[in-house]
Amino acid sequence: MSSFTTDLELSPLDDGYSWKLLSPFRYRIGEMDSDEIITVPKGFVTDFASIPRMLWVVLPPWGTYGKACVLHDYLYFSGIYDRNRCDDIFLESMGVLDVSWVKRRVMYRGVRTGGWVAWRKHRRNDPK
């Protein structure tokens, strides 16, 4: 089964909403012997979930789904998979974290509906 294999170590940035990784952060896709591992590098900057402020009462930018949000931010930034695969990994990783079914579905629908904005922004900035 997929799993997060390292702790998430972060430091807040002065802007009040971004965080920088203090060490690499890893997620294994598939079984324990799978060699498909995503490594979010030390120094990567995240804002956790990009949820509109008016919804923070119900879904704050961080919560039990925080690790999945950092992973998803990195997947969009890196472009190592297509957008559908990134969103599917996000959904899967929230399940690994035992995020409730309702929150998983709402957040997944959110990235499927509005994630194209961040996806295109990162593809425009992609030096490839």
One-letter-per-residue 3-state SS of the chain? CCEECCCCCEEECCCCCCEEECCCEEEECCCCCCCCEEEECCCCEECCCCCCHHHCCCCCCCCCCHHHHHHHHHHHHHCCCCHHHHHHHHHHHHHHCCCCHHHHHHHHHHHHHHCHHHHHHHHHCCCC
Q: For residue 128, is pLDDT > 80? A: no
Tens of pLDDT, residue by residue over 88-111, are 999 999 999 999 999 999 889 988
Q: pTM for the complete prediction? A: 0.88
pLDDT of residue 65: 86
Mean per-residue pLDDT of the chain: 87
- Count up the domains in the chain and report the number: 1
Q: For residue 51, is pLDDT > 60? A: yes
pLDDT of residue 16: 83
Its domain, for residue 41, covers 3-124
